[in-house]
Structure 1
Amino acid sequence: MLSNAAAGMEDPVDALLVNSPPPVRQEDAERVARACYPGYAQCAPLSGERDMNFRISRADGESLTLKFINGAESLDETRMQIAVLKHLEARRSGMGPVRAPHHQPADAAGLAADSDLRPGCDDGAMAQDWLDFLVPAVAGPVRVRAYGYLPGRAGTAMAAGPQSWHAVGRAAGLLDVQLADFEHPAAHRLFLWDACQVARVRPMLGAVESPDERARIAAYLDVFEQDVVPALAALPSQIIHNDLSPSNILVNEAGTDLAGILDFGDMVHAPRIAEIAIAASYQMTAAGNPLDVLSAVVAGYESVSPLTPQERRRVLDLVLARLVQRMAIPSWRALRFPGNGAYILRSRAAATALFNELYDEWSQGAR
C-alpha cells in the first residue's frame, strides 16, 4: 500500500516509468526471428527494465538483440534510436575504440509467411526498420526492432582508478563529437531522466523516506531552478546519450577502457556537460574522494573536446541533479512495482550516500 504522502503525488508525464514491458514469450521471439531475421535460429532472453529483449544468434556466433518495445515509447522515440545507430555507423571510422551497435533492418520477404507481422518503415525496397507484431495478450501491436549484439565485459567490471575514469570521460567526448551534427525532434521531449528537468521530481519526494533527505533535495531543487537553470541555457548544447551508466557500457578485458556503448533510449538535447556529469556520477561512488573521480572524467572529456570555464563550473550541479533523480524516481517507482522493488532500488543507496557526501561542499560554494 502507498503511504499517504506517496498516494497524493501526481503521476509523472513519462508513461515509460509506469508501463510494464510487453508480455512477449521466447517462442514469440523465435517466431519473429525465423520470419524476418533468417539465419538467426538460436534465441535467449536478455534483461531489460522497459522492454522485452532477446539475443538471437547464428551458427557462426554472430548475434543480434531483438527488442520488443514498451507500448509507452512513442514512434518518434523509436525512430530516433534507429536514426542514431545509422548516424554512428556512418561515422564509425572516427569513433576510435568505442563502438555502438549497428541497426539491423528486418527482411521484408518473411512478412508474407506470418499474418501477425506487419511492416514498419521502409529502408530500401525489401527491408524494414521495424515491425509490428500482433500479440494476443496486448490490445495493440508490439513494435519490434533489432540491432547488433556487442561482445564485451559488463560496465560493472570497470576498474576503479584514474586511468579508467579518464577513459570514461574520453569515450563520452568521442561519442559527443559524433553526435554533434545529429538532430531529431524526439530529443526535445519532456523526459523525467533529463538532468536539466530534475525539478520535475518534486511531486515524487513523498516517496523518499528520510525527512532530512527530502529537505536537502528540496533545498537543492530551489537553487537549481533559481540559479542553475538560467546558467545552463547559455552553455553549448547538443543531443547526448544521457545515460552512460555501467549498465550501458562495455569494457575491455583489463577493465580500464570502454569497448562499447549501448542503449540510446534516453537521448536528450542538453548541455554537453550533462554527459560528463551523468557518466561521472556512476563512477564517483568508488572509494576515495569523489571530486578526484570527477576531475579525471572531465580531463578525459577535455582530451577530446575542451570545455569553457562556464561549463566546468556547472558540472557538479548536474552531478547532483542525476543523483537526485536516482534517489527520487526509483523510490517512487518501487512503491508502484513492489514485486520488482529490489531491482528498481539497486543503486539508490549508493546515489544517496554520494549526494549526502557532496551536498555540504556544494551548498557552501563548490558550485
Structure 2
Amino acid sequence: MSETLLKRHYGLTASIANLCSEVERTVEVNLPDGRRLILKTSTRPEALDSFRFQTGAIAGLQGAAGFVAPTVLRTSTGALMFEQEGVCGYLQTRIEGIPLHQAMHSPDLLFRTGRALARLDLALAQVNVLAAHRPVLWHVGCWSRLLELEQYLPRGGIADSVRAAMVGYMEFVEPQISSLVWQVTHNDPSPFNMIVTGQAVGFIDFGDGCWSPRIQDLAIAASHVVTDPTLALGGAEHLIAGYASVIPLSRLEARLLVRLMRARQSALILVNCWRSHLFPAEAQYIKKNVARAERGLSILTPLDVTSGEAAVVAAASSALP
C-alpha cells in the first residue's frame, strides 16, 4: 500500500522499510538515487487533525535558523498531505545524524541541545495551526487525571514517588500554569526525537505537538537527561543553561520547572505502563523511556520548591559549560 500511495500522490517509485511507531504507520522510503525519506500514514479518524498539525508545523519552520527540522514534500497536487479511501498521510525528508539517546551526553552537547530547543520554540511561536488545539494524550491538561492509571505501576518505591510528583503538580503547578507563556510546542523533545547532525541539533516526530506552556518543551527535554545523582538537577543543568541563554526564564518558570520535570517523568511512567498493558506485544518499544524516567525521578524527588528553584536559577545563570 505504501508503494502504491507513493506512486499515486508523489510520482515516486521506491523500496520500503518499516520503522517503529505506536499510533501512525511510519516507513523509510529508499529512492533509487540514494535519498531516504519518511512516509507516515494512518487509517485512524483522529490522524487527520494530527497530520494537519504535523505538516503545518513543519512547513512553518522552514527557513528558521539554529536547529534542523524535516521538510514536508508536497503531493503532485501541491498539498502538504493526502487523503485516499480512509487513509491519510504525508511524506517528509529524513534527518541524517545520531539520535541523542545514542550520543555521549557531554556538557557541551547538552548546552547546544538546549539552545537548539529554544530556537525551535521561538520559531514555533510564529506558527499558526488550527489543529494545535486537538485532543492530545500527552497534553499537560490531562495530567490531573493520570493517577487513575496508578494500578498499572510496578510495585515498589517508584509508585510512591510518582504519586507524590503528580499530587505536587495538581496542588502547586496546576493553579499557576495559566500564568505561563503558552504557544505551539513540540511537546515531545525526547532523546529519541532529537538528532545530532553536523549542522545543529535536529527535531523529529511532531505528532504530540500542541498548544501548551512554552516551558513544557524545556521540562520534557530536561527530564530525560537527569542521570547524575551527584548534581542537583542530575545533569539537566547544562541543557537548561543552553535554553536560558536564548530564552531567559521568568521567575515563575524557574519556580515551576522542577515540579514540571517530575510530573512529566511520572506521566511518562504512568501512561507507558498503562499502554504496555493494553498492547503487550509492543511493550518493549512503548516502555523504552521508562527506566530513564524512573532514574531521573529518583534524583529529583528530594528537591523541594525552594531548592528546586535555586538549582534552576543557578543553572540558567551559568556560563558556557
Q: Same fold (TM over 0.5)?
A: yes
Alignment equivalent of 1:129, drawn from 52, 67, 80: 80
Alignment equivalent of 2:195, drawn from 242, 250, 259: 250
TM-score, structure 1 length as denominator? 0.78
Q: Which runs of 5+ in 2 are unaligned?
A: 310-321
Kindly name which structure, 1 or 2, has the bigger radius of gyration based on alpha carbons.
1
Q: Which residue of 2 aligns with 1:37?
A: 10
Seen in structure 2, the aligned counterparts of structure 1 residues 35 and 70 have a Cα distance that, compared at 3 Å, is closer
Q: Which residue of 2 aligns with 1:335?
A: 277
Is residue 87 from structure 1 mapped to residue 38 from structure 2 by the alignment? no
Contact kept, 8 Å, 1:168 with 1:279, in 2: the verdict is no
Q: Which residue of 2 aligns with 1:270?
A: 212
SS of equivalent residue, structure 2 residue 302: helix
Q: Which residue of 1 aligns with 2:318?
A: none
Distance in structure 2 (CA, Å) of the matches to 1:287 and 1:213: 16
Corresponding letter in the other structure for 1:220: A
Is residue 200 from structure 1 mapped to residue 173 from structure 2 by the alignment? no
Greater displacement, 185-194 / 145-154: 185-194
CA positional deviation for 1:38: 2.2
Seen in structure 2, the aligned counterparts of structure 1 residues 70 and 320 have a Cα distance that, compared at 3 Å, is farther
Seen in structure 2, the aligned counterparts of structure 1 residues 346 and 58 have a Cα distance that, compared at 3 Å, is closer
CA positional deviation for 1:338: 1.4
Q: Which residue of 2 aligns with 1:100?
A: 69
Deviations 1:195-253 (A, max 9, x none): 35322211111101225433333333223212211222112221111111121111136
Seen in structure 2, the aligned counterparts of structure 1 residues 217 and 70 have a Cα distance that, compared at 3 Å, is farther
Distance in structure 1 (CA, Å) of the matches to 2:228 and 2:23: 28
Seen in structure 2, the aligned counterparts of structure 1 residues 128 and 191 have a Cα distance that, compared at 3 Å, is closer
CA positional deviation for 1:143: 1.1
Distance in structure 1 (CA, Å) of the matches to 2:140 and 2:122: 20
Q: Which runs of 5+ in 1 are unaligned?
A: 1-27, 108-125, 135-140
Greater displacement, 304-313 / 209-218: 209-218
Contact kept, 8 Å, 2:228 with 2:234, in 1: the verdict is no
Q: How many residues align?
A: 309
CA positional deviation for 1:55: 1.8
Alignment equivalent of 2:116, drawn from 166, 171, 175: 171
Alignment of 1:139-154 (within 5 A): 141-154=86-99
Seen in structure 2, the aligned counterparts of structure 1 residues 65 and 323 have a Cα distance that, compared at 3 Å, is same
Contact kept, 8 Å, 1:53 with 1:68, in 2: the verdict is yes
Is residue 344 from structure 1 mapped to residue 317 from structure 2 by the alignment? no
Alignment equivalent of 1:158, drawn from 97, 103, 120: 103
Contact kept, 8 Å, 1:198 with 1:325, in 2: the verdict is yes
Is residue 223 from structure 1 mapped to residue 168 from structure 2 by the alignment? yes
Distance in structure 1 (CA, Å) of the matches to 2:103 and 2:253: 27
Alignment equivalent of 1:283, drawn from 222, 225, 235: 225
Alignment equivalent of 1:68, drawn from 41, 46, 54: 41
Contact kept, 8 Å, 2:187 with 2:217, in 1: the verdict is yes
Corresponding letter in the other structure for 1:240: T
Distance in structure 2 (CA, Å) of the matches to 1:320 and 1:101: 30
Distance in structure 1 (CA, Å) of the matches to 2:236 and 2:189: 14
Seen in structure 2, the aligned counterparts of structure 1 residues 72 and 279 have a Cα distance that, compared at 3 Å, is farther
SS of equivalent residue, structure 1 residue 66: strand
Q: Which residue of 1 aligns with 2:262?
A: 320
